[in-house]
Amino acid sequence: MQKKLQDYLGKYLGKEIKIIPGVPGQLTIEIPAEKIRATALVLRDEKDLDFAMLIDLCGVDYLHYGVAQWDTTTTTTEGFSRAVTEPKFDATNASNPRFAVVYNLLSLTHNWRLRLRVFLEASQLSIDSVVAVWPAANWFEREAFDLFGIQFKGHPDLRRILTDYCFIGHPLRKDFPLVGHNEMRYDATLGSCVYEKNLVKERVVVPKVIRDDNRYRSETD
């Protein structure tokens, strides 16, 4: 089944398309940002592909991808630092572009799923909207704009959707603190809502560690 889909993808999208096999039954293709509109149209309209439904669209921030807060390989000599002392990420993931937009597509006629990923540089954070291709993208793109600050060119109504009316920043970016920047309360004397700087200190109870010893692989691998 996956082989057939791969063949069709190669046939209609050209050989240069980057196909990344993942978990069995889930294909990912990567395309450059400028090709998104054309690719979306091919994926939807070619009867051999027929990805009529956009199931999901989301942004991803790869800033800290593969970067841990604790180094587990040198601990024998150096020991762990205390967890609650706010371990910061001192490195960033510089090898890849920072952002990505991921489209999860579904073909009802062929019963296929396909993941489409477009990497975006932080300096050029905009991509063509696919609302004209899949109307379902409307709110998903607004959400990605709200949470990551990705601009969707040609979107009919690109406003914030999930955060507050006068929210500043894009909360799902990795450099946005978990506790936020501002907090809001109702001031009875003023009779209105007041926004103040957040005084809560960010605290990491369990640091992020990466273990690469393959102990979770099953026997069949």
Residues that bind other proteins (CB under 8 A): 22-23, 26, 28, 52-56, 58, 60-61, 64-66, 68, 102, 104, 108, 111, 113, 115, 134-136, 138-140, 147, 160-164, 171-172, 176, 178, 204, 206, 208-212, 214-218, 221
CB of 109 to other proteins, least distance (A): 10
CB of 84 to other proteins, least distance (A): 13
Residue closer to other proteins, measured from CB, 15 or 79: 79
Label residue 27 left, alpha or beta by phi (over 0 means left) and psi (-120 to 50 means alpha).
Answer: beta
Residue closer to other proteins, measured from CB, 34 or 184: 184
Residue closer to other proteins, measured from CB, 34 or 86: 86
How far apart CA 64 and CA 60 sit, in angstroms, is 11
CB of 20 to other proteins, least distance (A): 10
DSSP label at 184? E
Instruction: Output Rg (C-alpha) for the chain, integer angstroms.
Output: 21
Residue closer to other proteins, measured from CB, 12 or 167: 167
Q: Please name which of 59, 63, 60, 58 lies closest in space to residue 174, comparing C-alpha atoms.
A: 63
How far apart CA 199 and CA 179 sit, in angstroms, is 9
Q: List, edge to edge, every strand of the sheet that includes 112-120.
A: 18-21, 27-30, 112-120, 99-107, 53-61
CB of 6 to other proteins, least distance (A): 18
Residue closer to other proteins, measured from CB, 164 or 196: 164
CB of 27 to other proteins, least distance (A): 11
Residue closer to other proteins, measured from CB, 39 or 148: 148
In 56-84, which positions are buried (b, 16+ CB within 10 angstroms) versus exposed (e)?
A: ebbbbbbbeeebebbeeeeeeeeeeeeee
CB of 105 to other proteins, least distance (A): 10
How far apart CA 37 and CA 77 sit, in angstroms, is 53
Residue closer to other proteins, measured from CB, 16 or 212: 212
CB of 190 to other proteins, least distance (A): 21
In 133-155, which positions are buried (b, 16+ CB within 10 angstroms) versus exposed (e)?
A: bbeebbebbbbbbbbbbbebeeb
